[in-house]
Every structure is written in C-alpha cells, then in structure tokens.
Chains A and B, each alone.
Chain A
Amino acid sequence: MNHVENPAGAAGKDNLWSVITASSVGTLIEWYDFYIFGSLATILSSQFFPHGNPTAAFLSTLATFAAGFIVRPFGALVFGRLGDMIGRKYTFLLTLVLMGGSTFAIGLIPGYDVIGYAAPVLVLLLRLVQGLALGGEYGGAATYVAEHAPANRRGFYTSFIQTTATLGLFLSLGIILLCRYTVGIDSFNHWGWRIPFLLSAVLVVVSIIIRMKMHESPLFAKIRAEGKIVKNPLKESFGKKENLKMVLLALFGATAGQGVIWYTGQFYALSFIQKIMNVEFVQSNYIIALALLIATPFFVVFGGWSDKIGRRNIMLAGMFLGIILYRPIYKQMYKLSDFSLKTEMPEAKTYKTETTMGNAKASARIVKTTDNRYTDGTILREISTQAQNTAGGKEVSAEIKKEVVLPVGSFWMLVLLVAVQVLFVTMVYGPIAAFLVELFPTNIRYTSMSLPYHIGNGVFGGLTPFIAISLTSLPGATPFDGLWYPIGVAALCLIIGLVYINKTTDQTLNR
C-alpha cells in the first residue's frame, strides 16, 4: 500500500488558496454557462426551435439529450486524455475558453425568424461544444486542487470545487431573475435573455486571467520530470483490469447514486414545484435559490468531515437519507398546494382584464386574470389569454394557465423541504472529488475519474427529470411515483458501495 509522500501538501497554504480560488471560479463559470441554457430553455425554444416545425423539434430534442448524455462523457474522455498527457493547467484552460466562447456565441445568434434553419443548427453545435467543455472541466479542477492539497485535508480543500456546481446554478438563477426584473418580462423574452449569455464573456476573461497565472500541478510536473507520463491514457485507464475495475466501482458504487441525488434535490425539486404544484415562476425560483444558499456551506462541512471519518460513509449516508425520506418530503411539499385541503373565499375573488393590440392588423390579445383566494393566504391564479381577430370578433387562439402563489408560511416551509434535499446533495457530493481522485494514480487520474463522474451525473442524474416524468404519466400513477427512479438507482448504489468499497480511500494519490 502506498502512502502519501508529502502529507503537508505540495503547495503552501497561501498558494493553496490561490489554487482553490482560480480553479473554483473557472468551474463556477462553466456551470453557470451550462445552466443558463437549461434555465432559459422555454425562451430559447421559441427563439430558435419554433413549435410545429418537425426539423426544429428534432434539433431541439437533440440539443437537450446530446449535450448532457453523449457529449459530456465524450468530453471527459477527450480532455481527460489531454490532461494526462500535456498537463492539467492547459487542459482546463482550454475547456474554459471553449465553454465561454460557445456561451457568448449563443447570445449573438439571430433567431429562427431572421436566419431560418441556420439558427437551430448553430445553437445545437454550440450546445454540443458546451457539453464537451463541461465534460473536461470538472476532472481537471478536482485533480488540480487535490494534487496541491495535503493528504489529511484533501476532502476539505476539494469540497470548494464541489460548491461550484450549486453556486453556478444559484448564479444563473440570480442573473436571470435580475435581468428579467431590470428589463421587464416582455423585453426579457424578446431580447433580454441574451444578456446572461453575453455576460459570460466577461466572467470567462476574468477567470482566464486568473488561471493563466497558475503553475502546473506539482504531482503532474513530478511524473513528467520522471518520464512517467503514459502515451495512451485511455488504453491504460480502460484497457487494464486493475484500473477498469476501479472505474466501474466508482461509477456503480458512488457516482450513479450521487448523480440521481444531486439532480433530484436541485432539478427535479424545481420541476415538481413548477409543473406539479404549479407554483408561480419567480416564487419557485426564489425557493430553489434560497434553499441552495442555506445548504451550500455544508459541501465544505461534509468534505472536511470526510477527512476524519472517510468519504464512503458520508456519501452512503446521503444516499440512504434520500432513499427513505424523498417520498415523505415530496408528499409534504405537495400538500402545500393541494386545494382539496384548503378553504376557498369566494367573496375575495378578484378579476382583471387587459387588452393589447397585436402587431398583425386587426388582432387583439386579451388577458383575463382571476385570483381565487384561500383562507391560508394561498392564491390560485387563472390566466386566460385569447388572441382575437377584431374585424370579425373571431377567436383565433386561446390559452389557459394556472399558477399558485404561496403565502409566506408555505413559502418558507417549501424552502426548508428543498434545503433538506440539498443537504443530502452536499453529503453525497461534498466528499466525492477527493474520493475519485484518490482511486487512481497520477498518470491516468484525469481520464479515469472524469468518465465515471460524467456518466454518473450526466446520464444517471441527467435522466432523472425525463424518467421521473415518464413514471408519473403512467396510467394510475401518483405525482410521487417519479421518485422511484432516483430511489432505485440510489438503493443499488448504496448496496454496491456498502459491500464493495472499503473504509477510507486516501492511499493512491502519489502513485
């Protein structure tokens, strides 16, 4: 068994914080770039993928699925190989440039109305570049920090990288809400949505300047000086049984379960609040943002704790809590907007009608809003939008939307219930960077850890909303049946982790 040669860490304490800051800021920006596309999916769809057009629908579906599921693991292979051959620093600098450049470019693409099919094709290509870059970024950042950190504090220091995925989501939600508020909803839907994309260029330039000043990882520099760099990291990682079996263990015993817990706590929760509970857009985003803010410090708490009691125990405890508590938590969430449990106040019902003239000749848009109030303060808002031809008084189209506005008490209860789920996320995600880097030797670390991480998160985690929604749409299904997917994957991962992973995992870093 190898022991760590430099327990004090390869970097001094001051230098280590510079390393963490430079790595975390870049990774945070990459996550921000990746999330704004998802958060603005509805607007992007109307700009680039018009409804009723089969080719555009095909490209839209491809952009959704391919970026997350195919390209991310592929990016892990491409950039992992590069990182193990030319070094960590230049590789994750390259991923940052690719991510920032493609995000900025999406903000510049004219809509489908202006350039036709070129618009969705360009968006698809740039989204693929985003997925590729994200696939290469995380492994580099985690490896880079771990290779600078002292052995006994590796979980603590790498946990700062782990906060970036949540903070990136928080940043994207914050900037979107701020832009929406500043320019107004109509302007935001028309052109304001481009601001979060264009802003990425500024963030990326700042991050590149910081990262340019960094030095190569000391452990990588050491193996390069010793001539121990492997010529074919892919063959070494996946062609040799002793490494391949660790890649498989990392995937099925840790990252698959971590991925579903992560996506359930952060994304399925939002989807459930918006689509099943019908909570109003801004309120639902505030709920998620506040929950993320409350729980995020726990990434560092659990990362640091994993240095003392082992990575495995904390990660598996997070999975176990998700398995037993998801259904009670979601049932409690659902109750907050269940109108069969509330008493309506018909006398407090309010109506509002707004009529605006449309761009087309002799057309008008009539929006009727009805607020149904309940004794606990909940408002059920019914918004009926009709487009009419004023010449003949004929209705062209009609749309009815229902949304729920929660009272303060229910709002904070929902924040708490989501924060508990994010707490499970911090348990599984906080220690996992240290766990993964410690499984593999330096000369194949970037490649070997990136693939299971991106399959676990991109495939198992990324599929959570789709599979969960499919399960809830089955005949006779309840709104909570979608949870069987993350519960099932996490349960399998928990069993494998308990049986096959042994105690702490901190012996391999200097190999």
Chain B
Amino acid sequence: MNALRKYLGIIWLLGGILLAAVLTYKAAITLTSTSATTEDYVFWIVIVAIFIPIIIGFILFGFYGMKGEYGSGKLKVES
C-alpha cells in the first residue's frame, strides 16, 4: 500500500501541474477574446485566483504522497 501511495503521489503531482497549465491557458484564451464580457472577467479571475492555490495544494499533496509522508506509521489518523 505504501508503494501505491508513492506512485499515486507522482500522478497527483504531475496532474496538478498539468491542470494549472490548462486552467491558465483556458483563462488567457477566454479573456483575450474580443467577445469576453464583464461576467467572463469576474468568473475567470475568481476561478484562477481560487484554483491556483488549491492546485498548488494538490501538487504539494502529491509531493508528500511521493515522499511517503502518508505511509504507515507516519499518519496521526491511523488506529
């Protein structure tokens, strides 16, 4: 199980990086379009401002998973 946690950690880490890139690209495409409305600006600025820190958290979660921080004996929640 510890090995699985580590391998999945790598997937979360890479997935987070990919997600951050896609989100930023999508926001840039929408907001630089001539048909962008005020609502689009508010929506995408809020989405990017909120989701980038969350994605950084997800990348960090993946990093901790990869380093074995959630392995047996390292979690306070284990019984």
Contacts and interface: CB of A to CB of B under 8 A. Distances in A.
A70 B46 contact: yes
A62 B64 CA distance: 35
B27 to A, nearest CB: 14
Contact of B43 (A65, A251, A495): A65
Question: Would you call the interface of chain B mostly helix, strand, loop, or mixed?
Answer: helix
A444 B11 CA distance: 30
A249 interface: yes
A246 interface: yes
A419 interface: no
A248 B64 contact: yes
A192 to B, nearest CB: 29
B46 A503 contact: no
A504 B70 CA distance: 15
A502 B77 contact: yes
Interface in B48-79: 49-51, 54, 57-58, 60-61, 64-65, 69-70, 72, 75-79
A-B pairs with the 8 shortest C-beta distances? A248-B61, A505-B77, A502-B78, A61-B42, A503-B79, A500-B70, A65-B46, A245-B64
B46 A502 contact: no
Contacts of A246: 76-77
Interface of B: 1, 4-5, 8, 12, 38-39, 42-43, 46, 49-51, 54, 57-58, 60-61, 64-65, 69-70, 72, 75-79
A244 B69 CA distance: 11
A251 B62 CA distance: 13
A62 B65 CA distance: 36
B79 A506 contact: yes
Contacts of A62: 42
Contacts of B50: 69-70, 459
A208 B78 CA distance: 39
B25 to A, nearest CB: 17
Interface of A: 1, 54, 57-58, 61-62, 65-66, 69-70, 241-242, 244-246, 248-249, 251-252, 438-439, 455, 459, 466, 495-496, 499-508
A439 B77 contact: yes
Nearest to A501: B77
Give the most central of A66, A246, A249, A251: most B CB within 10 Å: A249
B13 to A, nearest CB: 12
26 contacts: A57-B38, A58-B38, A58-B42, A62-B42, A65-B46, A66-B46, A69-B46, A70-B46, A70-B49, A241-B69, A245-B61, A245-B64, A245-B70, A246-B77, A248-B60, A249-B77, A252-B12, A439-B76, A459-B50, A466-B43, A496-B8, A496-B12, A500-B70, A501-B77, A502-B78, A506-B79
